[in-house]
Structures are given as structure tokens and as C-alpha cells.
């Protein structure tokens, strides 16, 4: 988690988060903390909120008859948590998410598992159309509490350069 402090007055400071385009280095890996333990309520609410009616995510009796023997975490919830966990490290100063590619669910995540994530910078380049920004590409990996990889995806973001973030424009 990238946390900085800036002075905003006499004996007064404000925390800030995230990286500007210039602060990314290809090859660097950011471990996102804290982890997140998934509860039954988390999984059920997300599943039903998104109108997913598959009983593998909320019906214990149904799930007992599956190869897993219990409910599995809804995969879009896993991806959403991993994205959220990565914000302070990779997209707090993003202008826009440009897309996700190659999303893979490599191992099931279960209720009461703890999810951890990390992101590796794969590429960065200047934006051709926006001189105050650049494009950063990361690969994010998710792991359970036993270190088993459960998910991966590649994400591209348009990131503000120093002096061009919304945070700086509004003195946030």
C-alpha cells in the first residue's frame, strides 16, 4: 500500500495514496495488504446482488453434492476483491480503467478462506493522446491463505502523471 503524507498547514498533514505514472517501474511487484477473509454473508450478498442464481454460491445442501462439497465463492466477487485490494498500489491515481484481459480462475476460493493479492508491472508507456498521463499494465495474482494461486488477470489503466492528478487539482 502506497501511503504518503503531505503538509497542508502549520502542524497539519494529510495522508495520500497511490502512484503517479512516473512512479511505476516495469518488473516491480506490489504485495497488497491487508488480506480479506470471505464470509458466507459476503458471498451470498454479492451473488444475489448481482442476480447470480447459481446455488453453488449460497445453498449449502446443493453444494454438498458437488465435487467441492461446499459453497464456492462467486468468481466475479473474487475478481472485484482483488481489484479493490490493488487500488492503493496501482490505480488510486487512475483516470480510467482501460480493460481486463486473460482472467483465469485457477483454483476454487471457499467461504472462510483469506484472499491475498499482488500485482506485477508488465508494461508502461506514454499516452499518445493525453500528455498528462500514461498507460500502465499489471498482472494481478490472487492467493488463498495456503499460498495456492486462485485467480489471475491482466489490467490496463490510464494513470495521471505528476502534476496532473485530480487529487492535485482539487488539493485533496
CATH number belonging to domain 3-37+75-170: 3.10.129.10
pLDDT digits (tens, 9 = 90+) for 75-93: 999 999 999 999 999 999 9
* Percent of the chain's residues with pLDDT above 70: 98
Tell me whether the omega of the peptide bond preceding residue 106 falls within 30 degrees of 0, making it cis.
no
Q: Is the pLDDT confidence value at 172 over 80?
A: no
Which residues fall within 8 angstroms of residue 5, CB to CB, at 6 or more apart?
A: 13, 14, 15, 16
Among 34, 33, 54, smallest CA distance to 44 is for 54
pLDDT digits (tens, 9 = 90+) for 110-151: 999 999 999 999 999 999 999 999 999 999 999 999 999 999
Amino acid at each position: 500500500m502506497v501511503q504518503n503524507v503531505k503538509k497542508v498547514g502549520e502542524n497539519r498533514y494529510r495522508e495520500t495514496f497511490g502512484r503517479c505514472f512516473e512512479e511505476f517501474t516495469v518488473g516491480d511487484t506490489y504485495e497488497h495488504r491487508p488480506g480479506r477473509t470471505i464470509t458466507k454473508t459476503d458471498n451470498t450478498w454479492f451473488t444475489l446482488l448481482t442476480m447470480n442464481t447459481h446455488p453453488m454460491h449460497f445453498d449449502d445442501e446443493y453444494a454438498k453434492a458437488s465435487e467441492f462439497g461446499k459453497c464456492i465463492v462467486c468468481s466475479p466477487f473474487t475478481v472485484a476483491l482483488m481489484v479493490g485490494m490493488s487500488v492503493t498500489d496501482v490505480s488510486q491515481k487512475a483516470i480510467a480503467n482501460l480493460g481486463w484481459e486473460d482472467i483465469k480462475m485457477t483454483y476454487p476460493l471457499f467461504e472462510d478462506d483469506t484472499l491475498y493479492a499482488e500485482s506485477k508491472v508488465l508494461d508502461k508507456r506514454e499516452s499518445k493522446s493525453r500528455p498528462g498521463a500514461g498507460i500502465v499494465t499489471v498482472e494481478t495474482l490472487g492467493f488463498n491463505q495456503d499460498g495456492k494461486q486462485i485467480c489471475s488477470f491482466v489490467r490496463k489503466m490510464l494513470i495521471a502523471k505528476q502534476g496532473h492528478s485530480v487529487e492535485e487539482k482539487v488539493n485533496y
